[in-house]
Structures are given as structure tokens and as C-alpha cells.
Chains A and B, each alone.
Chain A
């Protein structure tokens, strides 16, 4: 339906042009699924190669789309703005990197199956649909497509009991979250009488702001968003799922799905419910403070690096929420910059865990990083860059992310929140430093040579160096985020 309430076939057809990256990716996923049947196990690597190529082509297709400001297509279901373009390109590139990191890991565990890539591609497609949603229906559709693929990916290693357990947990909690979100959406629909964001936004800002029904709906939406983000108190699934999943799936959940969660929050809260910012802003304050506190403090007690990174994700989500809750364009830009930089750094950190893993050895304990500097000074340096960046130290990209969100909350006079945020980042610095300490100050207990194909090593190094490069010259990425959300 367009805003006039009429449906025109010719307009719909014209709109298909804007969806062509998504269509391409969907077709590519189907084609790869079919092709995979024809390959023998020895040739299975080619599935991964094709999947990466498909992602890169899609990224190019997205990047060449020119968007004046905002296009709403397909009868008001699909929207393309600069934020959507940037987030899609980042998602596609990150997933491509994840596939590169995963291949050897899958091979060594004898679980290199084409389905991993196909599910990954479809999850990416879901994320793209979600990012471009202009209506509650599309949003939910994209979210569920992504989530269902992720549940299957977590359970992908059939032999592993812990993976099956995580998958059940993830599925049950994820379904509850989706249900809650859907319930909130239905209330919003009931109050505003529309499913499309533009009419909802118009209704909310024209005096529905303190409608008790709307606030009720928003509360449910916040719960759903909080679940998908993994913000405290809806974070319970994160550590278990991160630890239980095969590492190559953890990195997928930890990166691509976080961008999708960010898009979910941005589409629902500022775009559709912008008029009710004072309401959801206050709810997010609670979520943000709790996430920063619990995430940073509990991470200290972890001995498993995947669990540690899980709690670190939770704390970083708290910082992203700081940007969103400020309710200003600067805040949204800062949150977007934070999310992108976090995803870049986190994919590198999980990539390092994948690099150190080998046959029968997961390298998922923190002590497995002991003495890495003696084994490989180069990769110890890369990991140090990633850790300092997560800790938010200059001159690494994480610093600018933190600077942006702290600036955003100070601009709306939440000085106490800014102080809380920086104090918890000191707590956070401790456990990132512990990894640096293990790598540099301790002697290695494990002297196996570090594997990894040339391609993986190159991509991983480039990924980590990006965390340094964007830290020295963050101007371009900051500008991209600024243009994306003006």
C-alpha cells in the first residue's frame, strides 16, 4: 500500500530495481545450494568460494545504488536510505570475512557442509531485508528469516551436545523475544492504525505521545529489541550461545546479527516511534547502564574467551544504546559508528580464536593466548590492536566510537551517564589488558605452529589493521555515518 492507499503494479515493478541486490543474493543462495549437491567432499571448498563471491557481488550491487535521500518502494514495504546502504555493505563484507575465517575451522572438524554457507547467505539476506524495512511486516519478515537461519547454524555441528543445547536455548528465548516484539508491534498497529513507518511516525508525533496503549506497546518492543541486541536484563542467552556454538557461528552471531539488531532498533525507535523518544529514551537508559555494568564486571570472571567476548558484546551494546537513547542525529550517528567499528573489531577478535584453533583444540580458553608474542609477534600485535580497540584506547577505532557516544549523551545533559560510561570502560579495560598480558608477559605453554591459509592470514591482518587505520584517520567513516543519518 502506498500512502494514498492504492496499489499500482507499474510502481511495484519500478521498485524491483531497488531490491535487486536482495534478489540476487536470494537467487545466489538457491543456486549455491543446488550446486553444492554436485560437488564431492574434496571439492566442497568451492561452495565457500562461491558464497564469498556472491557476497562481494551483492556488496558491489548495493554500493552502486545511488540514493538521493530516501526511496520507499514496493508499495511502502521497502525503503532505501543511506543508512541502509552503509549497513548492508558492512554486513556483506563482514560476512564475507567470516566465511573466509570459517572454512578451515569447518574442514578440521569434518563439518564442512554446503549448508553452512547457504544458511549464512540466507541469514544475510534476512538482515538486508530487515535493514531496508519500511513497514512492521517487512521488518518482522527479515528478522525471522535471519533468526531461523541462525538457530539452525548454531545446531549445525550435529555431534556436539553443547551446540544442541545452545541451539535450543537460543531458539526458545529467541522465539519468546520475537513473540514479545510482535505483540508490541500489534499494539502499535492498534493504536496508530498503520503498519508502515511513515504513517506510524506521523500518528505518534501528532499527539499520541502519551497514549498509554502506545507506551505499553513500546515497552514490549523494547523488550524484543533488548533480546535481539543482548542488552541486560535480556542478555541471558548470549554467553551460553556464544560459548556453545561452533566458533565460526559465534562470530556470525556476534557481528552480522548485531548490525541487524542495530537496524531493528533504528527503524523501530527513531524512525517509527521518534515522537515518543522521551518514553523509550528513559527505558534505554536503564538497559544501557545495566549492560555496561553487568557486561564489563562479569567479563572479568570469565576463563573462556568466547564467554568473555560475549560479556564484552553485552557491555558494548550498552554503549551503542547510549547513542540511540540521546535521541539526536549526532547520537544516532555515534551509535552507528560504534556498531560498525565494534563489528569490525569483534570479527577480528573471533577470527583470532579461529586462527589459533586446530584439530581437536578449540583455543577458546583465555590462557590459550599465553605467550603468543613468542610464537608469532605479528599476530600477537594484531590481537593487541583488537584488544586495545575494544578497550577504547586511542589511537584505535574503539576510542572514537566511545568518544562519539559520550559526546552524544553529554550533549543532551546526561552528564552522570557519561561518567558512568567512562568508569565502566575502566573496568572493561582490565580484562582486555589481561589478554595483552598473557600474550606479551607470559611464556608460551603451547608451541604448536600457527596454521591458517595465506588468504585467512591476509584478511585477518587487514581486518585488525583496519582497527588501527580507522583509529588514526577516523574522519572518513565518521563522515559516512554523518551523511547516513542527517
Chain B
């Protein structure tokens, strides 16, 4: 079983090495190599999913070898029910991005595809790392290809956007690094599981929690540190936006799941009000902000922030449930909802950005007012767009519904008002998404450019079709996903409930 023992390191190395090879090739060959490598990574996920054992919260596909002996850091990777689906999402998204970018990149094509491959390997590394330093290395290294992607292939204000993106994330991450080093000095190891078991006083936990919050809140992004996201999304090329929305935003939620909650659960209990308040502000206020956007990408970016508010809400609502009712049932509901919401948002927001990309390639505008009546010239495209818009508005039967429903259910157990405020998203989300669809897709043909539009070609149809299949599948049959992650979320819920303060 040599293959299974090294499956995860293959998943990390194959795209990275492929990316470096692509740098040396000419544009045409680099493109094909990118397709082959990203396809191979997706295929590598088949045994990862098939051999994944549900019913245990233990790490699987574990690989462990010494790395840097002087600081006791190891090359230690593995997956559980939370990270496995996220790795699937990463590989799936990268293949689609490679196909979607096939003809609409015009300069430095080899470097473009190389950057996405390297990024893919690093993102998988973040989800698989079980050692603090290794996690940090992947987490930070990931910024470099994204910085280049936005900066080289982005829009007119790309330099401002990409530097803002980089510095925002960098500042938060460094505070996380200080917290990780502190934990290491206390425990003598960088293993995340050791950090999770280690008793810590409430003061220590609070500072560690806040340091982690600085890193993850920026990445999620939570209000009020979200302002880099609309800029980055608007300026990024379509492929960059898709990866950013679909995978990189999930890193923040994943960080809460893997580090904040298990390492500092008591601080989480103390500060849950803060996180819930910030999440609800994101849901309601950012929802309203999305309503008034004129730029399609900006609108979707703001809707992403609002949706990610549900993730943080779901993660922290458990503390309130225990606080208000004294019962522990319902905690997993929130966490399950948060994870499903992360995956669903990955599919839906990625698809929405691709839809904008399809229109942008033809009209070279992202302004809503430059469109109108697209359905008349692009009926197939309109069908997809409407489907994804419905998923974005969390209509039952789509993936968006499952996560939001679970989170609202969990928040109802804690406090009716939380669920009321969270529920406004059903109105606001529907309002901004459907209004967007109404203005862009329906109505009379807006102008000559729209009249001259051509419908989807086979390549675009395939990409959107795959995403549509994912959205509908998770929407009507989420059971396999929930089964895979049940044990892990239960384990996390237990970790959240046990106090780590030494008496």
C-alpha cells in the first residue's frame, strides 16, 4: 500500500513540481501540462475519497517524517472528515479554472498556468498539514502565487488590490505565528494535536485566540477587515477570483476549526459574543451593501462576505446554545452547517465568478448597466446563471440551502433573535442575487453588444455544467458529505465543550 501511504504528499507535490516544469515550457505545452497535472490531482482524490474511513475522527492517510530537528518540526500531514472534502474542492476547482482560462489569458501564459498549479499544491498543503510550522509555511507561501496572479493578469487597479490583499493577510498571519511559537515554547513540539491537548490558562487562551482571530478574520473575511476582498476580486482575473472565492476564503473557516476552537475553547466561549456579533453584522450589513453594487464582481464579492458570516456564526453558535439552554445537542448542527456552507459557497461563488467571466470575455464590462436581456442571445448561459443565482439565494434543492438551513436551525436553538437576524439573509440574498439576474439576464435586449452575444461554447458549457452538477448534488443528496464529516465535527464539538483551564 505504498501508494496510499504517500497519497497526500503526492497531492501536494505533483501540482507544485508540475508548476515549476510548466515555467520552463512554451505557452502551448504549459497549457496542456497544466490540464494533465490538475486532472491527475483530481484523479488522485478518487482513492482519497474512496478509501476514506467514515466513523472515525482520527487522522487518515497520515505521513510523518522528521523535517527540522532543531525546532522539533515534522513533515506531518493527514486528513480528517473536515479537510478531505476541502481538498476535493481544491482539486475540482483548479481543473475547472484551468479549462476556463484556456483561451482568455493573453500574456505570459505559461507563467499563468504554473502559478495556479503551484497555488493548488500549497492550498492542499494547508488543508493537510498537522504540524504548526508546516501549516504556517503553506499558509504564507500561498500568498505569493496569488499576489502574482492578481498583479500580473488583473484589471487596471491590480497593483493596489494585490498589495492590499498581501499586506492584510500578512499582518494577521504573523500574529498567528507568534501564537504558534508561544505554544511551541510551552509544549516543546509543533504538533497541532499536542497544542489541542495542552492545558492553558484563560489569559493565555485569550491572547492566542485573538492572535488566531487576526489571521483568520482577515482570511474569512469578517467585518470590519473585509475591505481587501472586493478590491481583490474586482481586479483579479476570472481564474484568480474563482480560486480566491472557492478555496482561499475557506482557509479562514478551516483555521477556526483546526486551530482556534480546539486550542483555545475557553477563550472561544468567552468571546463568542464578539464573533457572533461580527458574523451577524456581516450577514445583515454586508447583505445590504451588496444590494447597491453596480459592478457584478463586487456584488458577488460582498455576497461572499455575507455568506462567510454564516460559517463563523455556525462555528461559534454552539457556545451560545450551551450557555442559553445548558444542552449540548445542536452544536454539531452549527459546525456541520458551517462546513457545508464552506463547500457550497466554494461551488456557488466559483460558478458565479465564472459566469461573470463568460460575459466579461464577450463584452469586456462588469457593469450591470451594460447588460440586459442576455437570455435572448445566450439561453443556455442564462439557464446556468439562474441556477447558480438560486443557489446563491439558498433556494431548497441547491447546495446553498443545506448549510444556511443548518446554521439557522442551530442559532434558533440558542436565541430566536440570532436566527431572525441570520434569516434576513434569505430575504437579502434573494434580493441582491435575483435583482442582479433580473437586470442582467431578463428584460429586453439592452444594447447592441448584448444583441451580438454568442452563447456558451462547449468548453464553457462543460465547466459550468460540472459546477451545476456539484451544486445540485450537494443540494438534494448531502448525506455522503455529512457522513464523511460527522465523526470529525462531533470530535470538534467535544473539544469545544471540554475546558482546558488547569484547575
Contacts and interface: CB of A to CB of B under 8 A. Distances in A.
Nearest to B143: A393
A437 B171 contact: no
A297 interface: no
Contacts of A400: 68
B167 interface: yes
B69 A479 contact: yes
Given A394-B141, A410-B185, A479 B70 contact: yes
Contacts of B133: 403
Contacts of B185: 407, 410-411
B182 A410 contact: yes
Interface string A356-381: 00000000000000000100010001
A395 B141 contact: yes
Contact of B184 (A333, A407, A423, A437): A407
B167 A393 contact: no
Q: Main SS of the interface on chain A?
A: helix
Contact of A422 (B137, B151, B159, B177): B177
Contacts of A333: 70
A377 B141 CA distance: 20
Contacts of B162: 437, 441
Interface string A408-438: 0011000100110011011001100100110
Given A418-B178, A475-B69, A440 B143 contact: no
A460 to B, nearest CB: 18
B144 interface: yes
A406 interface: yes
Interface in B133-189: 133, 136-137, 140-141, 143-144, 147-148, 151-152, 158-159, 162-163, 166-167, 170-171, 174-175, 177-178, 181-182, 184-185
A474 interface: yes
Contacts of A117: none
A395 B184 CA distance: 19
B151 A437 contact: yes
B144 A388 contact: yes
A393 B159 CA distance: 19
A478 interface: yes
Contacts of A423: 171, 174
Contacts of B166: 429, 433
A403 B144 CA distance: 19
A227 interface: no
Interface in A252-274: none
A425 B178 CA distance: 13
Contacts of A426: 167, 170-171, 174
B141 A419 contact: no
B274 interface: no
B111 interface: yes
A399 B140 contact: yes
A394 B163 contact: no
A418 B70 contact: no
Contacts of A394: 136-137, 140-141
Interface string B257-295: 000000000000000000000000000000000000000
Interface string B451-492: 000000000000000000000000000000000000000000
Q: Main SS of the interface on chain B?
A: helix
B103 interface: no
B18 to A, nearest CB: 17
B362 to A, nearest CB: 26
Interface string A303-339: 0000000000000000000000000000001000000
A175 interface: no
B67 interface: yes
Contacts of B111: 373, 377
Given A425-B174, A429-B170, A474 B68 contact: yes
User: Which size bracket describes the interface of A in this complex?
Assistant: 35 or more
A57 B147 CA distance: 44
Interface centre among B67, B71, B182 (most CB of A within 10 A): B71
Interface string A150-184: 00000000000000000000000000000000000
A422 B175 CA distance: 7
A377 B27 CA distance: 14
B225 to A, nearest CB: 14
B144 A393 contact: yes
A277 interface: no
A423 B147 CA distance: 20
A433 B159 CA distance: 10
A406 B171 CA distance: 15
A104 B181 CA distance: 45
Given A426-B171, A433-B163, A406 B141 contact: no
Contacts of A388: 144
B69 A399 contact: no
A399 B167 contact: no
Contact of A419 (B71, B136, B178, B184): B178
Contacts of A373: 108, 111
Interface in B297-317: none
Contact of B70 (A406, A411, A478): A478
A194 interface: no
A423 B175 CA distance: 8
A406 B177 contact: yes
A2 interface: no
A482 B70 contact: yes
A403 B70 CA distance: 12
Contacts of A410: 178, 181-182, 185
A240 B324 CA distance: 66
A426 B164 CA distance: 12
Given A410-B182, A437-B163, A475-B69, A399 B137 contact: yes
A403 B185 CA distance: 12
Nearest to B70: A478
Nearest to B107: A374
Contact of B177 (A403, A440, A474): A403
Contact of B163 (A406, A415, A430): A430
Given A394-B137, A410-B185, A475 B70 contact: yes
A406 B143 contact: no
A479 B69 CA distance: 8
A459 to B, nearest CB: 21
A423 B177 CA distance: 11
A404 B70 CA distance: 10
Contacts of B143: 393
A429 B163 CA distance: 10
Interface of B: 23, 67-71, 108, 111, 133, 136-137, 140-141, 143-144, 147-148, 151-152, 158-159, 162-163, 166-167, 170-171, 174-175, 177-178, 181-182, 184-185
**Which 6 A-B pairs give the minimum distances between C-beta atoms?**
A422-B174, A394-B137, A478-B70, A441-B151, A426-B171, A475-B68
23 contacts: A393-B141, A394-B136, A394-B140, A395-B137, A399-B137, A403-B71, A407-B184, A410-B182, A419-B175, A422-B174, A422-B177, A426-B167, A426-B174, A430-B163, A436-B148, A437-B151, A437-B159, A440-B151, A441-B151, A441-B152, A441-B158, A441-B162, A479-B70
Given A418-B181, A422-B174, 17 more contacts: A373-B111, A394-B141, A403-B133, A403-B177, A406-B177, A407-B71, A418-B178, A419-B178, A422-B175, A422-B178, A423-B174, A425-B174, A429-B170, A430-B167, A441-B158, A441-B159, A441-B162
